[in-house]
Amino acid sequence: MTQQMDSTIQAEIQGLAERYDQEGLQGLSELIAERINRQQATGNSIYLLTTFTLQPLVGNLDRWPKNASINNDWIEFQLEINEQTSETHVARAKIFRLPGKYGLLVGRDIHQLTEAKRRIIQALTWGLAIMVMLAFLGGIVLSRRTVRKIERINQTTQSIMSGDLSRRVPVTDRNDDFDQVADNLNQMLDRIQMLMEDIRRVSDNIAHDLRTPLARLRQHLEEARLEEDPSSKSAMNLEQSIKEADSLLGTFNALLRIARIEAGQVRAGFGDVDFHSLLEDIVEFYEPLIEEKNQTLETTIDANIVSQGDRDLLFQAFANVLENAIKYTPDKGNLSVSLIRLNTELVITIADNGPGIPASERDKVFRRFYRLDQSRSSSGNGLGLSMVSAVVSLHNGSIDLEDNIPGLRTIIRLPMMKKKA
Ligand code: ATP
Ligand code: MG
């Protein structure tokens, strides 16, 4: 716009100069006066013709602008619009000497132009500010969404790591990058789960298939022993071998039992279980062992708690935990067994003050055959807690191992189940 105005002024000067060339000062003055008259209404052109000493001759400007030396150049100056309010506008003009040393100034009031410029700059500034703000907000919203998605993947992987391999990362139907990551993760998990099941099946199959030959082996050993003189060395060796075979058979049976419980094949044995009498029976069963180790046992068992379950399996499970407590706690240790009902939940707590299990190992002891190094010298093969965990899941319960400071506290929670009609 400035350029356009400059060339208009330039053209105007051209016209004026031509007239001066043709008709001299007189013609130029007339033309200026005529132009001033013609644009009276809009009035933003400025003309001033002066003498050599810059005294005004014709024009609509009453004096030569201050600080404007006359050397054929563009100037900008303050134009007084209203004397009372001393309102001024910016004007832009070209000044130069005519051949006869007269001074000539041709210009425009560029108030509107500067005003437009100011508005444009203002609008751009606001626009920029708003844009930055929107970008900022958009960034926050987007990153929140991203973080939330990552958080979901995180939660799932965490619960998978804590043992629930059946969990999957949620996938939306938007099919964005996150969904593809989730999809791949899920496929990977499917594969891992399949492999884990394969491994379990293989070990269960081995246990299953070796059971019969092992039983036959035991049978033969038994027959051989009967033919020997009971006091002979070979009879004693055979006796030892039979014991080993029995222990192997025990391990295989335990493995198969766990596999069956985990597969949920034993639900048929569900019925009303009186937990009070169940725990009393277990305590009674282990009393001789406790006495033998000079340990003390404290029991707090609420009466009249009846819920659905498989009594035999629950017996084995609780017995395993109590047996561990007795086995791993040194002589003269203190044990406790408690059963309470919390709303719709049964809480069975079995605690001891023995060596306990370090926090980092508490997840691992539920694995098959996992034993702490310090326990390797005592009897057992590391299947007890696997069985307990399988039985507890079968009853939709949960099991936690905690530090009893010192010792181990095992807390088993089972939901109360009413008999289905
Ligand atoms: P099994 O029960 O098959 O005869 P086990 O007792 O060794 O053998 P789990 O009952 O599964 O196997 O226990 C696994 C391991 O956890 C044990 O070997 C032992 O190291 C540790 N453990 C279990 N209970 C306790 C406890 N009360 N105090 C200290 N360590 C324990
Ligand atoms: Mg055990």
Which of helix, strand or coil describes residue 375? helix
DSSP H/E element including 382: none
Q: What pLDDT score does 71 carry?
A: 67
CA separation for the pair 134, 142 (Å, rounded): 12
The pLDDT tens digits for 99-118 are 778 888 899 888 888 889 99
Which ligand is closest in space to the CA of residue 380? 1
41 — pLDDT class (breaks 50, 70, 90): low
Q: Is 314 exposed, middle or buried (0-12, 13-18, 19+ CB in 10 A)?
A: buried
Phi first, then psi, for residue 43 (nearest 5°) are: 55, 50
User: What average pLDDT does the segment 399-409 reach?
Assistant: 94
- Domains of the chain, first to last: 2-109 (3.30.450.20), 189-262 (1.10.287.130), 268-415 (3.30.565.10)
Residue nearest atom 15 in ligand 1 by C-alpha distance:
371
The pLDDT tens digits for 258-312 are 888 887 766 667 889 999 999 999 999 999 999 999 999 999 999 889 999 999 8
* Whether the Cβ atoms of residue 321 and residue 389 lie closer than 8 Å to each other: no
What letter does residue 358 receive in the DSSP assignment? -
> Is there an atom of ligand 1 within 6 Å of 320 CB?
yes
CA separation for the pair 199, 365 (Å, rounded): 19
Which of helix, strand or coil describes residue 314? helix
> Is there an atom of ligand 1 within 6 Å of 387 CB?
no
Mutate to test the pocket of ligand 1, among 258, 385, 409 (most ligand atoms within 8 A of CB): 385
Query: Residue 237: CB partners within 8 Å, gap ≥ 6?
Result: none
> Is there an atom of ligand 1 within 6 Å of 317 CB?
no
42 — pLDDT class (breaks 50, 70, 90): low
Mutate to test the pocket of ligand 1, among 324, 367, 411 (most ligand atoms within 8 A of CB): 324
Ligand 1 centroid to residue 364 C-alpha, Å? 11
Among residues of the chain, what percentage have pLDDT more than 70? 96
Out of 49-58, 81-90, 201-210, 340-349, least confident range: 81-90
79 — pLDDT class (breaks 50, 70, 90): confident
> Is there an atom of ligand 1 within 6 Å of 355 CB?
yes
**Which of these, 290, 360, 357, 284, lies nearest to 327 by C-alpha position?**
290
* Whether the Cβ atoms of residue 200 and residue 259 lie closer than 8 Å to each other: yes
CA separation for the pair 9, 421 (Å, rounded): 103
Ligand 1 centroid to residue 290 C-alpha, Å? 17
Ligand 2 centroid to residue 29 C-alpha, Å? 121
Ligand 1 centroid to residue 292 C-alpha, Å? 19
DSSP H/E element including 178: helix 177-227
pLDDT value at 164 more than 80: no
CA separation for the pair 279, 338 (Å, rounded): 9
Query: In the chain, what are the helix, strand and coil shares in percent, each to the nearest 5?
Result: 55, 20, 25
Query: Residue 369: CB partners within 8 Å, gap ≥ 6?
Result: 381, 382, 383
> Is there an atom of ligand 1 within 6 Å of 372 CB?
yes
CA separation for the pair 179, 132 (Å, rounded): 30
Query: Which is it for the CA torsion 357, 362, 366, 369, positive or negative?
Result: negative
| Closest-lying ligand 1 atom to the alpha carbon of residue 371 | 18
Residue nearest atom 27 in ligand 1 by C-alpha distance:
325
> Is there an atom of ligand 1 within 6 Å of 9 CB?
no
| Closest-lying ligand 1 atom to the alpha carbon of residue 325 | 27
CA distances in angstroms from 242 to 209, 239, 381, listed in the order given: 19, 5, 18
Q: Of the segments 34-43, 155-164, 304-313, which one has the largest average pLDDT value? A: 304-313
The pLDDT tens digits for 340-384 are 999 899 999 999 999 999 999 998 999 888 999 888 888 888 999
Strand partners, 39: none
| Global model pTM greater than 0.85 | no
Q: What pLDDT score does 334 carry?
A: 95
* Whether the Cβ atoms of residue 276 and residue 302 lie closer than 8 Å to each other: yes
Who has greater pLDDT, 335 or 98?
A: 335
CA separation for the pair 329, 408 (Å, rounded): 9
Q: What pLDDT score does 267 carry?
A: 65
Residue nearest atom 12 in ligand 1 by C-alpha distance:
382
pLDDT value at 406 more than 80: yes
Q: What pLDDT score does 39 carry?
A: 74
pLDDT value at 144 more than 90: yes
For residue 406, is the peptide bond before it cis, meaning its omega torsion is within 30 degrees of 0? Answer: yes
Tokens of 200: 């379990």
